[in-house]
C-alpha cells in the first residue's frame, strides 16, 4: 500500500497507535483506581463551551485566554472555544446542575482532552490530555493535601520518580492587596526594563510578573505574597505544610510560585521533574476560593489540580507493550473454518479475547498472525480433527499441545485450568 497520502495529522496533535494505546489504557486505569480510592467522582464535560466561560473564569489577562484558545463561531454567530482547561467546566457544571444541593462537599475527577494553541514542543501538544481533581466546598488545608497526595500516588504507581513538589501561598484578596501595593512600588522604576508582557501585567495582573522567566533576574529581591499573609492565610499555609510533613511528603517552598490563572487563593503548588528539561512542569494546582462566587454561585471554597498525561508519558520507563489475545483459531479448510467461527463466538461469550482470520488465508499466514497477536493459546482445526470431533489446543508458552473435544464448554474448561 502506498504511504504517499497527502493527509497528515495536524501540527500539535498526535496519533496513538495500538501499542502506545496499551500504555494509555494502563495510565488511565491507574488514575481511575487511585481517584476512586480517594472518593473523587468522575465527571465528563463537553469539548467546547461558550467562550465567555473561559474569559470570565480563566481570566482575560491570562496567556491562555489572550493567545492560546481555539475560538470559533458557530452558524448562529455564537463564540465557542475548545476547552483549554478543566476547572471552568467543572465549576459551570457544579452551578448549572445545582450540585451544591447534593452536599456541602463534592469531589470530582476527570480525564479529558484540552486544546491550546501553544508552540508545539516536546511533550506539549495543541490537543493534549489531562487528568485533574477538584474538591468543592472545603476550605480546609486537609483537602489541599489530599489533592497533592492523590497526584503523588498516581506518579508513584506509574513508577515515575523524581517528581518534586513546589508550594507557596499567594494569600487571599484581603492580604494580597498589601502585597500588590508594595510590589507595584518596587516595580515602578524597573518597569521600562521589563518585557512587554510584564508591562501589560503591571496593570492587569501584576502578581504574574513574579513568574516571568525573562525578567527573573531583574526583579530579584522583589517582595513576595508570602511576606504579606494575614493570620488566616498564614495559619492555613502552616497547616498545609504540617500535614505534608505528617505524610512525609517532601516539598520546596518557592515564594515566587504563582499560578497563571486569576482565581487562585492561598495554596498553590506545582509538580516538576527535571528530566523534562526547561519546560519541567508536569502539573499543578491550588486553591480557588474566589471563583465560584465570581461565577455567580454562593461563596464556596474549592481547590484542585491538573496534570498533563502527555508529559507523564515522557517520564514513563520505555517498556515494550505487546498486543495480545488469549486465543487464536487456525483452520485448514472451509468446513473447519465454520466450526472455528462457532468456537470463536463461544469463547468471546465466555469472556476470552479471541480472534481468527476472516479472510481464509493460508494456514501459514494464520499462524503468522497468531504469532503477531501474541496468542497465549492456538486452537487448530482441520479435516482430521473434525472427523474425530476434537480440536488441537496448543499452549504457546509451554509449547504443549492437547486434544480437546470440539465443544466450547470443554475448551473453556481447559483454558481456565
What are the residues binding Zn ion (CB under 5 A)? 171-172, 175, 195, 198, 212, 214-215, 230, 233
Minimum CB separation from Zn ion for residue 198, in Å? 3
Helix (H, G, I), strand (E, B) or coil at 342: helix
Q: Which cell is 235 given?
A: 495559619
In the complex with Zn ion, the residue whose CB is nearer, 171 or 283, is 171
Minimum CB separation from Zn ion for residue 287, in Å? 11
266 near 289, Cβ under 8 Å?
yes
In the complex with Zn ion, the residue whose CB is nearer, 195 or 313, is 195
Minimum CB separation from Zn ion for residue 233, in Å? 3
Residue 328: left (phi > 0), alpha (psi -120 to 50), or beta? beta
Minimum CB separation from Zn ion for residue 175, in Å? 3
Q: Sort 97 into a burial class: Cβ within 10 Å, 0-12 / 13-18 / 19+.
A: exposed
In the complex with Zn ion, the residue whose CB is nearer, 118 or 197, is 197
In the complex with Zn ion, the residue whose CB is nearer, 76 or 221, is 221
Q: Which cell is 311 given?
A: 508529559
In the complex with Zn ion, the residue whose CB is nearer, 212 or 276, is 212
- CA–CA gap between residue 193 and residue 88 (Å, rounded): 35
Max CA pair span of the chain: 96
Minimum CB separation from Zn ion for residue 44, in Å? 35
Handedness of CA 306, 308, 314, 317 (dihedral sign): positive
DSSP string, 130-190: EEEEEEES---HHHHHHHHHHHHHHHHHTT----EEEEEE---HHHHHHHHHHHHHHHHTT
In the complex with Zn ion, the residue whose CB is nearer, 212 or 249, is 212
Minimum CB separation from Zn ion for residue 171, in Å? 4
Amino acid at each position: 500500500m502506498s504511504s504517499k497520502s497527502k493527509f497528515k495529522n495536524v501540527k500539535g496533535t498526535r496519533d496513538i497507535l495500538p501499542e502506545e494505546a496499551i500504555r494509555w489504557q494502563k495510565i488511565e486505569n491507574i488514575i481511575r483506581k487511585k481517584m476512586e480510592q480517594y472518593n473523587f467522582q468522575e465527571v465528563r464535560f463537553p469539548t467546547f463551551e461558550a467562550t465567555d466561560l473561559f474569559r470570565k473564569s480563566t481570566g482575560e489577562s491570562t496567556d491562555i485566554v489572550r493567545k492560546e484558545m481555539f475560538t470559533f463561531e458557530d452558524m448562529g454567530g455564537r463564540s465557542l472555544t475548545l476547552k483549554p482547561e478543566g476547572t471552568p467546566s467543572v465549576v459551570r457544571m457544579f452551578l448549572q446542575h445545582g450540585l451544591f444541593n447534593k452536599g456541602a462537599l463534592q469531589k470530582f475527577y476527570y480525564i479529558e482532552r484540552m486544546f491550546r494553541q501553544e508552540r508545539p514542543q516536546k511533550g506539549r501538544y495543541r490537543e493534549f490530555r489531562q487528568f485533574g481533581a477538584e474538591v468543592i466546598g472545603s476550605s480546609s488545608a486537609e483537602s489541599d493535601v489530599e489533592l497533592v497526595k492523590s497526584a503523588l500516588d498516581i506518579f508513584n504507581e506509574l513508577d515515575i520518580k523524581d517528581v518534586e513538589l513546589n508550594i507557596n501561598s499567594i494569600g487571599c484578596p484581603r492580604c494580597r492587596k498589601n502585597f500588590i501595593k508594595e510590589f507595584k512600588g518596587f516595580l515602578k522604576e524597573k518597569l521600562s526594563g521589563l518585557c512587554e508582557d510584564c508591562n501589560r501585567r503591571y496593570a492587569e495582573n501584576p502578581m504574574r510578573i513574579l513568574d516571568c522567566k525573562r525578567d527573573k533576574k531583574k526583579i530579584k529581591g522583589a517582595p513576595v505574597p508570602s511576606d504579606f499573609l494575614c493570620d488566616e492565610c498564614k495559619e492555613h499555609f502552616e497547616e498545609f505544610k504540617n500535614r505534608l510533613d505528617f505524610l512525609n511528603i517532601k516539598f520546596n517552598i518557592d515564594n515566587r510560585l504563582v499560578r497563571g490563572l486569576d482565581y487562585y487563593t492561598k495554596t498553590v503548588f506545582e509538580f516538576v521533574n527535571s528530566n523534562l528539561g526547561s519546560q519541567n512542569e508536569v502539573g499543578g494546582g491550588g486553591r480557588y476560593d474566589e471563583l465560584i462566587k465570581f461565577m455567580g454561585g454562593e461563596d464556596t471554597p474549592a481547590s484542585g489540580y491538573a496534570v498533563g498525561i502527555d508529559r507523564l508519558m515522557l517520564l514513563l520507563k520505555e517498556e515494550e507493550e505487546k498486543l495480545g489475545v488469549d486465543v487464536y483459531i487456525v483452520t485448514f479448510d472451509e468446513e473447519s473454518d465454520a466450526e472455528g467461527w462457532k468456537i470463536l463466538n463461544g469463547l468471546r461469550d465466555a469472556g476470552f479475547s479471541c480472534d481468527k482470520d476472516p479472510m481464509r488465508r493460508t494456514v501459514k499466514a494464520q499462524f503468522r498472525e497468531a504469532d503477531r497477536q501474541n496468542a497465549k493459546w492456538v486452537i487448530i482445526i482441520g479435516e482430521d480433527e473434525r472427523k474425530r470431533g476434537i480440536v488441537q489446543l496448543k499452549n504457546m508458552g509451554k509449547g504443549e499441545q492437547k486434544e480437546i473435544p470440539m465443544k466450547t464448554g470443554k475448551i473453556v474448561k481447559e483454558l481456565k485450568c
